[in-house]
Chain A
Amino acid sequence: MLVSWHFRYRNSIMDRIDPRARWIFSFAFLISATLFWNARFLIFFFLTAIVWYTFGRTTWKETRRGWMLISFMLFTMIVLNTIITGGGAGGVVPPGGIKLWPDGFTLPLVNWHIRFGLTIERLWFAICQLLRLGSISMIFVLFPYTMDSRAYGATFKGLGLPDRLAYAMELAFRYIPTLARDLSVTLDAQKARGYELEKVKGGLFSKIVRIAPLLVPVTMNAIVASEDVANAMDLRCFGQAKRTWLYKLTYHWWDYLLIAFSILILVGSLVAVYGFKLGGFWVPGFFYQLFV
């Protein structure tokens, strides 16, 4: 099994931003965007996310897989839950409202009369959901493609995570190719003995049990091998003094600017929502005019 990271250097603006500043911005953005259902603010977040996304200089071909998952999630959340089944409004949309098709509508060709309870308010809520989830997705889908996997340990240490925790993360990144190779070798060895992971026959339980001949040897081998790594680390006095990191991170003036912008967004959002009560759901007049 071939396992590879999606990151590559693109000479983009994102490549020049310190990963710590990126995480600070991303979390400030996440917290701020989720405070609002007011479309005026959500449009601001959406536009900010578009600008941020373009900083990554990723191509559609690269990010297609991530966007497929996001589209699936948005479809379930917005089309299925909010529009079709009438759920998914979480007490944000007030009950009642003006129906889009009060007398229902007839499907052409088959002449079926459909009674559909979708309201104008719910449709606007679906647009707000799209803006909010779309903007959050644009911020977070970029990480696999634009952040160097070697930087994770140093980044999280820089963000205040304890040494041991940050090192566990760093070590996990380094183990991925080794374990992927072990998995591949084990799969081949088991296949040589007649093992069929892809066998279609059998119910859910037998399918899960069929995983065991692959899962057990890979897991147990990894545990046995980890003993040597732990001994080697102990011999080198791991955890006895403050750790230094091979991957050095340095803040530049633009990173400070980004952090300041992140704080501004977060504080501004908190003041707007809790101080001026501007975060609530609201349907603009023009949207009613479109349907009434």
Chain B
Amino acid sequence: MKKKSLWKFGTREVVYAAIGAALYAVLGYATNMLPILGSGNVSFRPAVVIPMFFGIAFGPIVGFISGFVGNILSDLLSGWGFWFWWDLGNGLMGLVTGLISASIIDFKATKSILLAEIFVVLGVFVGMGVASLSEMWVSGADMNTVIFANFLPAFIPNVINGLILVPILMVAYSAIVSRSGRN
């Protein structure tokens, strides 16, 4: 089987990135109504698995754009404005998770799913970590506030959503892969 290129960004990747961003925005908008109490500008949205899954399936650049642009679009649809540092955090979540994409050939193999789960945790950690730390610069929050009011309320639900839903999407995608013969 042909080895996947990690940083390829051709026509297909442009379309996947756009679809990922739009999906994240629409699904995020549909579930955006549940802000996490005491956590400032963080809300509970299962749609967060979209940038992670698109990163794993189509590479880190696609994951980044799905998260970054998707979060911008979702906030625009909700009328919440533009919060660059949280958009960047969502993008990084897709990018870091997508770093494993070149190693995943069989999407329903246990090893692939385990690897993806590890990178989901890593991706959410880096993405939400960067976004939360930026609150120190923007809001003047101290480290305790950043950890307990921003990072943990964003990290925990996103990781739970990712760990549960990413494998489900991977197994579903493997059916498409085998049916269409793509890799």
Residues of A bordering B, CB below 8 Å: 1, 3, 5-6, 26-27, 30, 34, 37, 62-63, 65-66, 69-70, 72-73, 76-77, 80-81, 87-92, 125, 128-129, 132-133, 136-137, 140-145, 149, 164-165, 167-173, 175-176, 178-180, 183, 204-205, 208-209, 211-212, 215-216, 218-220, 222-227, 229-230, 233-234, 238-239
Shortest CB–CB separation between residue B164 and chain A, in angstroms? 5
B137 touches A169 (CB 8 A): no
Q: Interface size class for chain B?
A: 35 or more
A233 touches B15 (CB 8 A): yes
5 A-B residue pairs with CB within 8 Å: A69-B41, A77-B141, A168-B18, A183-B30, A219-B53
> In the complex, what residues of B have CB within 8 A of residue A72's CB?
35, 40-41
Q: Can you add 10 more A-B contacts, CB < 8 Å, to A77-B141, A170-B18?
A: A69-B41, A76-B38, A76-B39, A87-B145, A144-B77, A171-B14, A208-B46, A220-B176, A226-B15, A238-B14
> In the complex, what residues of A have CB within 8 A of residue B69's CB?
168-169, 172
Query: Binary interface profile of B, 13-53, with partner A (CB < 8 Å = 1, else 0)?
Result: 01111110111011101110001001111000011011001
Q: Is B138 an interface residue (CB 8 A)?
A: yes
CA–CA, A224 and B76, complex, Å: 27
> In the complex, what residues of B have CB within 8 A of residue A137's CB?
81
> In the complex, what residues of A have CB within 8 A of residue B47's CB?
215
Number of contacts between A and B (CB, 8 Å)? Answer: 217
Residues of B bordering A, CB below 8 Å: 9-12, 14-19, 21-23, 25-27, 29-31, 35, 38-41, 46-47, 49-50, 53, 57, 65, 69-70, 73, 75-84, 135-145, 149, 160-161, 164-165, 168-169, 172-173, 176, 180
A133 touches B11 (CB 8 A): no
> In the complex, what residues of A have CB within 8 A of residue B138's CB?
34, 133, 136
Residue of B21, B140, B173 touching A125 (CB-CB under 8 A): B140
> In the complex, what residues of A have CB within 8 A of residue B19's CB?
172, 175, 179, 222-223, 225-226
A3 touches B81 (CB 8 A): no
> In the complex, what residues of B have CB within 8 A of residue A63's CB?
79
B22 touches A65 (CB 8 A): no
CA–CA, A27 and B69, complex, Å: 17
CA–CA, A81 and B153, complex, Å: 15
> In the complex, what residues of A have CB within 8 A of residue B9's CB?
164
> In the complex, what residues of A have CB within 8 A of residue B136's CB?
90
A209 nearest CB neighbor, chain B only = B164
